[in-house]
Structure 1
Amino acid sequence: MFAQTNASEEGFASYYADKFHGRRTASGNRYHKNKLTAAHKTLPFDTKVKVTNLSNDSSVIVTINDRGPFAKGKIIDLSYYAAKELNFIKKGITKVRIEILSDSLNTNDTISIASSANEKKTEPPIPSYPGTYDFNFKETELSGYYIQTGAYKDSDILSEEINRLQKKIDSNNIYIEVIKIKNTIINRLLVGPFEKKNGDAEIAVLQKKGISGFLKSY
């Protein structure tokens, strides 16, 4: 049995779409829709949390193995199985309370959800291996034309830029390409996709919003 700490957080939960089944998470493990796992922005990987659906009082214990969600108002992204246990598959989103289970933490781990969100993260929010990802740092494929708005070595700066973009454009149009150049990880921030013929117009729209970049294809 796991003992609960006094660390809790309330907000909205969503769950992974089926297309993410089998893709790598930020921890390096692959997402499995029928396992009790979840994504959280700051909690250490392998932390176990109790998630309670505040609309029906059902609860489930999940293991944190991914980063996200980064959409405003959401505090946790659950596996399909966890969402099914909480009975909100049809709704797609529900208000929850999450509580850390202390036996899953190391003695040096932060046990306050609120304070961990304000501290500098010790783990990068994105994988340290090449690939392409959506704004929740879940592996995806890119196809078409995108506008690259920047390239960053520092994952904290990348997160700040993603947050800045989210205030100006739809989060679903934000992507990250992780590349490795001479043993250095570079994170390219992309907006798209667009048709090539609309590229110049889209660049102009972004420039009016204070975002600059150039067009590239995938």
Structure 2
Amino acid sequence: MASAPGSGGYVMKPYPRKGGGFYKDDGLPAQIPENIDQIPNATPRLEPLRNAANKPYTVLGMSFTPMTRLQPFSQQGIGSWYGTKFNGLKTSNGDTYDMFAMTAAHPTLPLPCYVRVTNTQNNRSVIVRVNDRGPFHNGRIIDLSFTAAYKLGYVDQGSSPVRVELIMPDASAVTYAELSKDALAANDAKIDDKTRYGEEVPKPGTYVQMGAFQNGFNAQVLRNHLLRELDWMTPAQVHVYAEPPWHRVQVGPFATRVQAETVQVKIRDALGGQPHIAVRQ
């Protein structure tokens, strides 16, 4: 039986969850849009590229250099999807993630852009708007929204071999430097807004600090990476505190140092790196 429209404007129906192989127990939804099969592909259009979202960045020792212009691009590898754990959170592009929209995350494609993704096992294709960073996992080249992966037929198993092809809206190379200054200023204001990158008032307590960045975008990418890779961690536990000139990524707060050190070891064993303990009065 379908339910009334939810906050996303969708009329929902129960989803018979059959899988268990989805990435990091991100979680299949209990309900999906009643008209999910009719949700259209993203419509490619020329958009200003986001300056802040296309700068080089590092996530726990892995360095990435995003493309800064639209140009021919094709890649084959394993596609995954991300859903309930991230639904409603901010993407690297500054948008609010909607797991039922036709979007995707990619480590290096310019943000935003449009790609055709083909499941090479069944030859189904979708067109999605790339507005987020990830996945940061060996062998995985793109994370699709739930709906996009559903249309490609792999939500229940969690991943599938895919081909990714960048779509050129006007068949010419464009850089963000060649677009209007007014459009760029509006986009940079959106992506660099303090509420996007940091909570105003840090909470007192003991934390595990994962990194400190002058570039708030890099801090947000690390936060999203932690949530992707650590299935036991919740969004409420990972903070980006903006304290100019730094954006600190901290996990907590914990009531005692012993609790923080237990999580510190758990994170280090899972991801490597050298997280350290930080105390806020």
Indicate the TM-score class for this superposition, using the shorter chain for normalisation: 0.5 to 0.7
1:171 is aligned to 2:229: yes
1:86 corresponding residue in structure 2 = 152
Deviation at 1:131, TM superposition (A): 6.0
Q: Name the CA shift for 1:16/1:216 in 2 (closer, same or farther; >3 Å).
A: farther
2:113 corresponding residue in structure 1 = 47
- TM-score normalised to structure 1 length: 0.64
What is the percent sequence identity of the aligned residues? 31
* Partner Cα distance (2:158, 2:239) in 1: 28
* Partner Cα distance (1:180, 1:159) in 2: 11
8 Å Cα contact 1:199/1:215 also seen in 2: no
SS at match of 1:52: strand
SS at match of 1:82: helix
Q: Name the CA shift for 1:51/1:198 in 2 (closer, same or farther; >3 Å).
A: same
1:188 corresponding residue in structure 2 = 248
1:113 corresponding residue in structure 2 = none
Q: Name the CA shift for 1:201/1:67 in 2 (closer, same or farther; >3 Å).
A: closer
SS at match of 1:14: strand
Larger Rg: 2
Within a 5 Å distance, the mapping from 1:135-154 to structure 2 comes to 146-154=207-215
Within a 5 Å distance, the mapping from 1:106-121 to structure 2 comes to 107-109=173-175
* Partner Cα distance (2:171, 2:240) in 1: 30
SS at match of 1:43: coil
Deviation at 1:16, TM superposition (A): 1.6
Deviation at 1:50, TM superposition (A): 0.5
8 Å Cα contact 2:114/2:129 also seen in 1: yes
CA RMSD in angstroms comes to 4.2
1:214 corresponding residue in structure 2 = 277
- TM-score normalised to structure 2 length: 0.51
2:20 corresponding residue in structure 1 = none
* Partner Cα distance (2:241, 2:261) in 1: 25
**Count of paired positions:** 183
Q: Name the CA shift for 1:200/1:24 in 2 (closer, same or farther; >3 Å).
A: closer
* Partner Cα distance (2:156, 2:78) in 1: 15
Deviation at 1:56, TM superposition (A): 1.2
Give ranges in structure 1 of 5+ residues lacking alignment: 111-122, 134-141
Query: What is the one-letter code of the residue matched to 1:148?
Result: Q
8 Å Cα contact 1:15/1:92 also seen in 2: yes
Deviation at 1:176, TM superposition (A): 5.7
2:127 corresponding residue in structure 1 = 61
* Partner Cα distance (2:112, 2:129) in 1: 5
Between 1:99-108 and 1:42-51, the stretch displaced more is 99-108
Deviation at 1:200, TM superposition (A): 3.7
* Partner Cα distance (1:104, 1:82) in 2: 24
8 Å Cα contact 1:36/1:62 also seen in 2: yes
Q: Which has the higher strand share?
A: 1
Select 2:141's aligned residue among 60, 75, 82.
75
* Partner Cα distance (1:86, 1:187) in 2: 38
Query: What is the one-letter code of the residue matched to 1:150?
Result: G
SS at match of 1:199: helix
